[in-house]
Amino acid sequence: MLGRYVDNLLTRLPLQEPAKKVAGTVHQAILDGGKPVRQAVDVLHGTWLGHPLHPVLTDVVIGAWGMGALLDLIGTRRSRLAADTLTEVGAISAVPTALTGLADFSGIKQSAAGAGLSHALMNTIALVFYLFSIRARRKGQRRQGVFLSAVGLGVASASAYVGGHLVYNKKVGVDHSQPTADLSEWRAVLDADKLRAGSPQRITVDGTDIALFRRGNQVFAINAVCPHAGGPLNEGQVEGETVQCPWHDSVFNLSDGALVHGPSTFPVACYEARRRDGKIEIRTRQAESAEDEAAGEESSQEPAYA
């Protein structure tokens, strides 16, 4: 109910078009910066972490500010000192948190751009209230400082709700991967002469869309749906043994599906592929099969609730 109301409200704000322009400009600047900039931005995305870094850092900011508000309420001399310190810790932590948010915003899916910009603007307003609060606290104007930080916390909390809306409603930052096709045996999936270098093919195997690529005598197979936001990897730009998604430029290794550059923080499923008897054949990568079997011995099914 509240989620639908917020969605309607965010949709009516005239932020969608400006947000797309800002995100596109930042994204282009990152691409123009070349490999060193992309590697730095990958750190901000959280490619090294296996999921987005931004929500991890927001916990530090909200945690510090929330605990600071509680200590303000307690109101003893020691708790007030601790509250002042936490107010500043939250404001300092807000800077790297904003940078991770900006990195993610640069690759945000278009349908969520307006909500993303609303989230960023609310966080900026909250930070400004906190900066004025810190100034008042340092000058000894305690009541004013506490009031300003309380307003800031209210705005930050509303913004946190919008952040949750972006993830759980708009599905920003979640893994969009299709399930991996279960191919324990080699399966012929395409006539080999239909797969040419420079012309990837998209096929469907047991309900999973798979992209096939050819480079010289090598054949590669990965899931066709980009884990970042569902882009068609078969339409991506191939360079060496990598493919760049056409939607937000995540780069994946064709030989093992590993993530080379974000904004995706998830790799793409990859299969073994070969040419045999005029056909392209694929199967599940054997290393992954062995891992699945080992995991399956411990537990294979999520138990049902009693």
CB of 163 to ligand FES, least distance (A): 19
Q: Does 220 bind ligand FES (CB under 6 A)?
A: no
Residue whose CB is less far from ligand FES, 107 or 267: 107
First to last CA, the chain: 29
Binding of residue 250 to ligand FES (CB under 6 A): yes
> How many residues bind ligand FES, per CB under 6 A?
13
Residue 35 or 78: the one with the smaller Cβ distance to ligand FES is 35
If one asks whether residue 23 binds ligand FES (CB under 6 A), the answer comes out as no
Identify which range of 19-27, 37-45, 140-148, 227-235 contacts ligand FES by CB under 6 A. 227-235
Exposed (0-12), middle (13-18) or buried (19+): which is 277, by Cβ within 10 Å? exposed
**Residue 92: Cβ within 10 Å count:** 12
**Cα distance between residue 175 and residue 26, in whole Å:** 23
Q: How far is the CB of 182 from ligand FES (least distance, A)?
A: 24
Strands laid side by side in the 279-284 sheet: 187-191, 279-284, 270-276, 218-223, 208-215, 201-205
Residue nearer to ligand FES on the CB measure, 164 or 230: 230
- What six digits make up the tokens of 210? 């798979």
Residue 229 in contact with ligand FES, rule: CB under 6 A: yes
Q: Which residue has the tokens 């050819």?
A: 214
Residue 247 touching ligand FES (CB under 6 A): yes
User: Which contiguous run of DSSP H or E holds residue 98?
Assistant: helix 77-106
Number of neighbours of residue 215 by Cβ within 10 angstroms: 14
ω before 263 within 30° of 0 (cis)? yes
Q: Which of 19, 23, 7, 98 is nearest to 263 (CA)?
A: 23
Q: Where does this chain touch ligand FES (CB under 6 A) — which range of 22-30, 120-128, 244-252, 294-302?
A: 244-252
Phi and psi torsions of 283, nearest 5° = -155, 165
Which is closer to ligand FES, CB of 208 or CB of 264? 264
The interface region with ligand FES, picked from 49-57, 86-94, 118-126, 222-230 by CB under 6 A, is 222-230
Near ligand FES by CB under 6 A: residue from 226, 254, 270, 282: 226
Kindly tell me the burial class for residue 167, based on how many C-beta atoms sit within 10 Å of its own C-beta (0-12, 13-18, 19 or more).
middle
Q: Is 253 in the site for ligand FES (CB under 6 A)?
A: no
Q: Which of 134, 245, 254, 269: binder of ligand FES (CB under 6 A)? A: 245
Please report whether residue 264 would count as binding ligand FES according to CB under 6 A: yes
- In the set 52, 173, 231, 257, which binds ligand FES (CB under 6 A)? 231
Q: How far is the CB of 158 from ligand FES (least distance, A)?
A: 28
Footprint on this chain of ligand FES (rule: CB under 6 A): 107, 226, 228-231, 245, 247-250, 263-264
